[in-house]
Amino acid sequence: MTEQTRPTKLGRLATYADRTLPVLREMILDGKLPPGERLNEVHLSQALGISRGPLREAINRLAVEGLVEAVTHRGVYVRSFSARELSDFYELRVALETHAARLAARYAPQERIDELSHMLDETEQAMGNDAAGAYPASPDFHARLSRLAANPPLLQSLTEVGRKIQLARARSAHQPQRARVALDEHRAITAALSARDGEHAAALLEAHLTSSLNNALAVLRAAEPK
């Protein structure tokens, strides 16, 4: 029984600010608060049923995470990223994730890598029929891969840059025709890990992320020619 809207009395563990942060983050990443949108403290606090204090704390944390931008005396806005910034984010992600792959190739227990393979098997089976279907499990693959590095700070940084990328890509839905290609690339990366060839895994991963970036950039430019 997991309630989430306790009218007046505070729940036992988490504080209002703690609980509001993920709500706001999801509103932004879901597009309910699109890039450029202003976050009105009064309206939002009333909508969420809390006062401005805890709301401001949650918003502040979002600002540190880089999802919103606070301008003194003028309000906070959902960040809107340029193509250049999206590229920078991907480059940062390459730095982190390729290193995670190298670490995983060296230190991850074999059974964890096998789990990755099994997950890809299941995904392939699930999508097998409609070959041009989506690939919703792709972020999950990258998250599990990053976890194999067994380095919490590294994983944390990857999570944060991942959110910024998600926001930057906003409405550029992933093209379904890349699903099959992406799956194959994930397989190759996993195979390299299994062979304990970190450099090869890193190279494959970098190529994989680069084509993902190019895909996103193409969609972006198509949406906004200038």
Q: Which of residues 143-162 bind a second copy (CB under 8 A)?
A: 151-154, 157, 161
Among 64, 126, 143, 223, binds a second copy (CB under 8 A): 64
Among 22, 31, 49, 53, binds a second copy (CB under 8 A): 53
Nearest-angstrom CA–CA distance, 116 and 50:
42
Yes or no: say if 101 and 193 are a contact pair by the CB < 8 Å rule.
yes
Sign of CA dihedral 82, 83, 88, 90: positive
Interface stretch with a second copy, choices 12-20, 129-137, 170-178, 181-189 (CB under 8 A): 12-20
Binding flag, residue 72, a second copy (CB under 8 A): yes
- Closer to DNA by Cβ: residue 9 or 226: 9
Choose among DNA, a second copy, none what residue 157 binds, the Cβ cut-off being 5 to 8 Å by kind.
a second copy
Among 27, 29, 37, 50, binds DNA (CB under 7 A): 50
Question: Which two structure tokens, joined as six digits, stand for 62?
Answer: 């979002």
Among 38, 61, 178, 200, binds a second copy (CB under 8 A): 61
107 to 16, 118, 143, 206, 214: CA distances (angstroms): 40, 20, 17, 20, 31
Q: Which residues contact 150 (CB under 8 A, 6 or more apart)?
A: 103, 107, 108
